[in-house]
Structure 1
Amino acid sequence: MLSQKKDFWRICVERWPLSGRSAFVLARYGFIASILVLVGTSLSLLFFRYPAAVPDPRTIFRPSPPAQDSREDYDYFNLANTTASNVHPIDTLINAAREFHDARLLKRSEDLTSAAQRYRERRGRHPPPGFDRWVAYALKNDAIIVEDYFDRIYKDIAPFWGLDPKKIALQAAKWPHIVRVRGGKTEQVGDTQGRVPWLELWAKLVSDVGKHLPDVDMPINYMDESRLLVPFEDITRYVAKEQATRTMPPASQVVSDYTGLAEIDKMDKPEDPKFTHAPKLYWDFLRATCPPGSPSRDVPAMDEPALIPQYPHGLSEAYAYRGFIQNFTAASDACLQPHLRSYHASFIEPVSMSTSTDLFPLFGGSKLPQNNELLIPGAMYITDHEFYSGGNSHGPPWAEKIDKIIWRGVASGGRNYGENFHHFQRHRLVEMLNGTTVSRLERNGARALTFEMPLDSEYDFSRLHERKIGEWLKEFADAGFVGRNCRDNKCDYVDPYFSELESIKMKEQYKMKFLPDADGNSFSARFRGFMLSTSLPLKATVYAEWHDDRLVPWLHFAPLDNTFADMYAVLDYFTRDRQGDSAAQMIAEAGKLWGEKVLRREDMALYVFRLLLEFARVCDEARDKLGFVEDLQTK
């Protein structure tokens, strides 16, 4: 395993042969004190947000002072001619990200025995029955087995241990759209006429591993928007029950066969959960999921959308290091950021709202951290459609790319109309990349419709201080809408600000160096394609996805704040000199290499395989005794 890890970084170093080791060591120690302060703050937030001892899946890193590193290949981008006082914050974040990634890879399991042992250590239970088949599938397909990569499954499923297992199984079996497994055979259940083919795609993914699964039902959320917002107090109570029943009985008392669903299949449909349809109140439902005393808990939904959004200048130290994202989980958490109620369309007026405050089983491709669906890979990541992936084209080598940032998309995210569109994240991204608009702001000191320019005190770079960002963007940025999604198709209210541009195929966009990714009605569905391209993805989101545990910001992609307040400073770092360009190339290519190892179809099937084993167990009346213990019995 260690040799494989070194091989990965040897490839990186061979591709980016740069120097400066002694200066790097000096720079790294120069930031020890400040990083330790950030450690304490970030850890306190980690335990504050989540009510149970279920790991927060996207806590990026908590760097501690490292020992003197003896590897000659450690400097994978150039830190020559730097001192402790002038090292850029992103330099520090990139190196800490690499250390975190290295440390986590040391926990890789290479066989069934080590995988089962690490499962018990991390989960406090025996693995579910079928775990041996899961490991065999992983090894057969050269998957990287790191138990941490599956933390999302256990955060999602923990509350269901607080419900009656038969009730969960019955609700799952009678939902309108289901991927169903019986006797090892997979089928899709439900009327999909006139709908996008997501159910078919998910059914095909499950069928990849269906012969290894017990009888199980996977009820599907067919909406773009996530649907479950169970109040914080209820989830806390359910998770407390899970913790109270978390045991590892002696192997002699463990049951290795699932009960099955024959009885459930004969039962009548249960009463439907109660759903609310009030999109303008979505924020109020969401804040009820936040812990009491958290910043957003007592802040009501925005009631005057016509007002220009006001942003508190300076990114919070709760998730930022010197103005740049260091904790991507906290940066995506609306409970910590009440200003997001007026900075993201999902919280202003989603296109559709059918929300329940009851906990019941529902699977979906993305969700807000506060939602209670069970995450599976987004169906758009499974399709081969070029619209989402770019097809077989991943872009030219970095040296042949055009030094530009490009974005095309529709003005999705919510119901936009004259009074509220200036609060939407995609409108803000497009306007911030408009060089003419930014130049005007730099000349007269005014603010734009959707954003404010960063203050000189917030970031230290010459383009900001010399008022040359707009001039630079005129050559560097190409962003616009291919559809404005106006209310009743009447776009007079956006005509003065946004026009429509011709669409550009993904494979053409991959010729540019920088690809920003912004949420739509939920997740954007392009991120996997961006990761597998040779370009650098820049990601801002309030949504969680299945892959979050296995990707490390500042190593596999560049994170952005949801306000995009840091975007100019991040782009300036990557474009102002050779060192920044080398760092951008490193992240773009390391992300692609890593994506080809952990974002494959086989990896998505493996994730769903594990999730359905766990879901089948939580639906079983013998769940407290169900487990895999064969590895213990052979010792």
Structure 2
Amino acid sequence: MLLSAPSVNNRFTQLFIAALLLVGLFWYIAPDLSAARHLSIPGFHSAVSSKAPPSTSTNALPPKVNHPIDHLIEEAGKELGVLLAKETHNVHDAAQAYRLRRGRQPPPYFDKWFAFAQNHSALMVEDFFDQIYTDLNPFWGVPAKQIREQANAFLHRISVRDGKTTQRTDIDERPWLNLWEDMVGSVAEWLPDVDLPINVMDESRVVVPWEEVDGYMQKELTSRKEVDASQLKTDYGNLKALDEKGVPAFEPVFDGMGPYWPLAVVGCPPESPARKAYIEADFSTAPPLTGGFPDGSYKGYVQNWTLAKSPCDNSALQGLHGTFVEPISIATTKTFFPLFGGSKLPMNNEILLPPAMYWTDDPFYSGGKEHGQPWDKKKDGLIWRGAASGGRNKAENWKRFQRHRFVSMVNSTSVALAVSSEAAPPNFVLPSDNPYDLAASPSETAFADWLATWSDAAVVHLLCFPEDPADRQRCSYTNPYFSVAPAMPMKEQYAFKYLPDIDGNSFSGRYRAFLYSTSLPIKATIYQEWHDSRLVPWKHFVPIDNGFADIYGVMEYFLGNEEKGVGGHDRIAREIAMGGKAWAEKVLRREDMQIYTFRLLLEYARLCDEDRDRMGWRESGVG
């Protein structure tokens, strides 16, 4: 028998009420998954947060207008345009650009170098090689014989003789040295005889007093001249006499006693903040952060990348970065001699090569052949996995380490506790009085909820000191604050749109792979690398301050805050990510590392020659 209409309505009402009661009962007895996400302890990483964050795409919502980052991106585009306008297309124009920027003739074999670069489809902009002259120019103030002999006598060395490479070191196998030899060997057939002393440590080792280096630079300036073409010496000598007769023993004195800050700041100008700063000895307290805008920023965001990375100009870095708090090892010399390495601090005096990590095909550093899925297939979130490196973290100093701080600052659990507790967080501060005008104020519980929608950051090894043999993954002094997550291959990290890159014991070897990916690199560092003059912040990557106060504003700019009705700039994030990738594929290729190394060693070999003041390339038909 068919039910009448009134019977149907009554039965529907009964079922609806019953369903509501069941849902309510379940909600009452079931665990609060949202609370588990935000408040689980221990952990700035929880089982829930290890999963990919849900989509937070806010393209339908209007973003804030006239945001400071809009201005920085616009200025970055202009800067790139100025660089591209300097591109040269033939050896004559390249030599002219060289003379204008360097104040002397290009080195011998400049035409061979240019042909090599052109045959490898290089983008030729003279500014791209500025780091070479930053590193080498002081050596014009040192006798060529001294450079040759010191280089030949140093224990760890790569040598080029008659177009072939050899190496010398103290143990059977040094993987980075092998990679560097392979890099040099790839262009050795065009190189003159030369010896390259190599820094085999992670940390920088040469820091010469600024006053001494300034004296060498003054000599370099007075030595600049364009030698008449008819007077040029256009070939290099060889090092046979050096090999046959031998050289005096040379072993620079390396200081192994910390802290590192007072050893390093002698390389800063006398009037710099670092030289005038109080030297910290106690790192057990919370870091010296205010939560306000970083010095020199544009409304809180990095506008001068060189300044933001400079410990000489940011004296607070002595208590914010493991390099200065307690590095794993210290072996620093004030002796000025040629030492090649993959990275350095701005006050160090090493000569930079492209890092061996960038030359390897190891997927741990290269990310492998795949660089990520299309942007619109990625998760609208940030991923970071790495060891708690940066130096020797221990109970007395871990609160000052940069990777610990970053993980804490972007984790919803730690931020929720900071908001709800009267006690200050142990290793970070939230932006005070909301200076970044965030949609959810950092003093609100909604702020931690917003972080949970996009952030997934965790350490994969705590690197405790001393290490507990019973449990290598746990540290008694950080157990209440951190849990350890499984390692995540880089190709899996590419499933996220945003990839922060934070210094470890020195520079991060993942940076080039991040730039090659289809994700957006967010970079914080105090280290210099060979490619710095090739990359434009806010055009090819997003820079952030080493205090990380700006990370919240950066992420709100790109992702928005859906709960607060603020849209993001997903399209702009994609443009920077894809533009950075395309740019890396033009200027950070293995071929570009070869071209840089080729040019560097031509210049270095000239410095080692007794006739260096009149050496140079003679253009065909001139003189």
Q: Could you tell which deviates more after superposition, 174-183 or 513-522?
A: 174-183
The reply to whether residue 602 of structure 1 matches residue 591 of structure 2 is yes
User: Equivalents in 1 of 2:146, 2:448: separation in Å?
Assistant: 58
Q: Tell me which of 546, 552, 560 is aligned to 1:568.
A: 552
User: Equivalents in 2 of 1:557, 1:274: separation in Å?
Assistant: 39
User: Equivalents in 2 of 1:386, 1:596: separation in Å?
Assistant: 17
Q: Report the residue type matching 1:155 in the other structure.
A: T
Q: Could you tell which deviates more after superposition, 456-465 or 491-500?
A: 456-465
Q: Which residue of 1 aligns with 2:255?
A: 276
Matches within 5 A, 1:268-417: 268-280=247-259, 282-318=260-296, 320-417=297-394
- SS of residue paired to 1:335: coil
Matches within 5 A, 1:548-559: 548-559=532-543
Q: Which residue of 2 aligns with 1:121?
A: 100
- SS of residue paired to 1:217: strand
Uncovered stretches (5+) of structure 1, i.e. residues with no partner: 1-77
Matches within 5 A, 1:103-118: 103-118=82-97
Deviations 1:324-370 (A, max 9, x none): 00110000000111110100000111101100011100000000011
Matches within 5 A, 1:463-482: 463-464=440-441, 466-482=444-460
User: Equivalents in 2 of 1:201, 1:82: separation in Å?
Assistant: 47
Q: Which residue of 2 aligns with 1:427?
A: 404
Instruction: State whether residues 92 and 619 of structure 2, in contact with CA within 8 Å, keep that contact through their aligned partners in structure 1.
Output: no
The reply to whether residue 98 of structure 1 matches residue 82 of structure 2 is no
User: Equivalents in 2 of 1:206, 1:194: separation in Å?
Assistant: 18
Q: Which residue of 2 aligns with 1:17?
A: none
User: Equivalents in 2 of 1:605, 1:467: separation in Å?
Assistant: 52
User: Equivalents in 2 of 1:467, 1:396: separation in Å?
Assistant: 34
Higher-Rg structure is 2
Q: CA deviation at 1:630?
A: 2.0
User: Equivalents in 1 of 2:534, 2:136: separation in Å?
Assistant: 19
- SS of residue paired to 1:464: coil
Q: Which residue of 1 aligns with 2:600?
A: 611
Instruction: State whether residues 285 and 399 of structure 2, in contact with CA within 8 Å, keep that contact through their aligned partners in structure 1.
Output: no
Q: Which residue of 2 aligns with 1:531?
A: 515
Matches within 5 A, 1:486-501: 486-490=464-468, 491-501=475-485
Q: CA deviation at 1:300?
A: 4.0
Q: CA deviation at 1:442?
A: 2.1
Q: Which residue of 2 aligns with 1:439?
A: 416
User: Equivalents in 2 of 1:264, 1:564: separation in Å?
Assistant: 51
Q: CA deviation at 1:619?
A: 0.7
Q: Which residue of 1 aligns with 2:150?
A: 171
Instruction: State whether residues 259 and 622 of structure 1, in contact with CA within 8 Å, keep that contact through their aligned partners in structure 2.
Output: no
Q: Report the residue type matching 2:518 in the other structure.
A: T
User: Equivalents in 1 of 2:285, 2:169: separation in Å?
Assistant: 44
User: Equivalents in 2 of 1:172, 1:531: separation in Å?
Assistant: 34
Instruction: State whether residues 416 and 485 of structure 1, in contact with CA within 8 Å, keep that contact through their aligned partners in structure 2.
Output: yes
The reply to whether residue 198 of structure 1 matches residue 153 of structure 2 is no
Q: Report the residue type matching 1:267 in the other structure.
A: G
Q: CA deviation at 1:446?
A: 4.2
Q: CA deviation at 1:541?
A: 0.2
Deviations 1:404-452 (A, max 9, x none): 1111111111111101011000000111121011012223364311110
Q: Which residue of 2 aligns with 1:51?
A: none
The reply to whether residue 135 of structure 1 matches residue 114 of structure 2 is yes
User: Equivalents in 2 of 1:593, 1:578: separation in Å?
Assistant: 27
Instruction: State whether residues 180 and 188 of structure 1, in contact with CA within 8 Å, keep that contact through their aligned partners in structure 2.
Output: yes
- SS of residue paired to 1:315: coil
Uncovered stretches (5+) of structure 2, i.e. residues with no partner: 1-58, 469-474, 561-565
Q: Report the residue type matching 1:283 in the other structure.
A: W
Instruction: State whether residues 279 and 352 of structure 1, in contact with CA within 8 Å, keep that contact through their aligned partners in structure 2.
Output: no
User: Equivalents in 1 of 2:249, 2:129: separation in Å?
Assistant: 31
Aligned-residue Cα RMSD (Å) equals: 1.8
- SS of residue paired to 2:165: strand
Matches within 5 A, 1:74-85: none
Q: Report the residue type matching 2:368 in the other structure.
A: G
Q: Report the residue type matching 1:157 in the other structure.
A: L
Q: CA deviation at 1:464?
A: 2.4
Q: CA deviation at 1:217?
A: 1.2
Q: 1:194 to 1:495 in 2, by over 3 A?
A: farther
Q: CA deviation at 1:174?
A: 1.9
Q: CA deviation at 1:549?
A: 0.5
Matched length = 552
Q: Tell me which of 249, 254, 267 is aligned to 2:246.
A: 267
User: Equivalents in 1 of 2:209, 2:352: separation in Å?
Assistant: 19
Instruction: State whether residues 403 and 476 of structure 1, in contact with CA within 8 Å, keep that contact through their aligned partners in structure 2.
Output: yes
Deviations 1:247-272 (A, max 9, x none): 11211111111122122223234331
- SS of residue paired to 2:160: strand
Question: Normalized against structure 1, the TM-score is what?
Answer: 0.85
- SS of residue paired to 1:399: helix
Q: Report the residue type matching 1:330 in the other structure.
A: L
Percent of aligned positions that are identical: 48
Q: Which residue of 1 aligns with 2:5?
A: none
User: Equivalents in 1 of 2:521, 2:108: separation in Å?
Assistant: 39
Q: 1:456 to 1:582 in 2, by over 3 A?
A: farther
User: Equivalents in 1 of 2:441, 2:578: separation in Å?
Assistant: 29
Q: Report the residue type matching 1:164 in the other structure.
A: P
User: Equivalents in 2 of 1:581, 1:617: separation in Å?
Assistant: 49
- SS of residue paired to 1:478: strand
Q: 1:359 to 1:406 in 2, by over 3 A?
A: same
User: Equivalents in 1 of 2:404, 2:258: separation in Å?
Assistant: 20
Q: CA deviation at 1:493?
A: 0.9
Which of 1 and 2 has higher RCO (CA within 8 Å, sep 6+)? 2
Q: Could you tell which deviates more after superposition, 136-145 or 465-474?
A: 465-474
Instruction: State whether residues 152 and 247 of structure 2, in contact with CA within 8 Å, keep that contact through their aligned partners in structure 1.
Output: no
User: Equivalents in 2 of 1:81, 1:435: separation in Å?
Assistant: 25
User: Equivalents in 1 of 2:369, 2:343: separation in Å?
Assistant: 25
Instruction: State whether residues 149 and 248 of structure 2, in contact with CA within 8 Å, keep that contact through their aligned partners in structure 1.
Output: yes
Q: Report the residue type matching 1:567 in the other structure.
A: I
User: Equivalents in 1 of 2:318, 2:141: separation in Å?
Assistant: 31
Q: Which residue of 1 aligns with 2:29?
A: none
Q: CA deviation at 1:295?
A: 1.0
Q: Tell me which of 185, 190, 197 is aligned to 1:219.
A: 197
- SS of residue paired to 1:321: coil
Q: Report the residue type matching 2:232 in the other structure.
A: V
Q: CA deviation at 1:578?
A: 5.6
User: Equivalents in 1 of 2:496, 2:291: separation in Å?
Assistant: 31
- SS of residue paired to 2:106: coil
Q: Could you tell which deviates more after superposition, 430-439 or 460-469?
A: 460-469
Q: Report the residue type matching 1:250 in the other structure.
A: D
User: Equivalents in 2 of 1:211, 1:502: separation in Å?
Assistant: 45
Q: Which residue of 2 aligns with 1:56?
A: none
Instruction: State whether residues 109 and 145 of structure 1, in contact with CA within 8 Å, keep that contact through their aligned partners in structure 2.
Output: yes
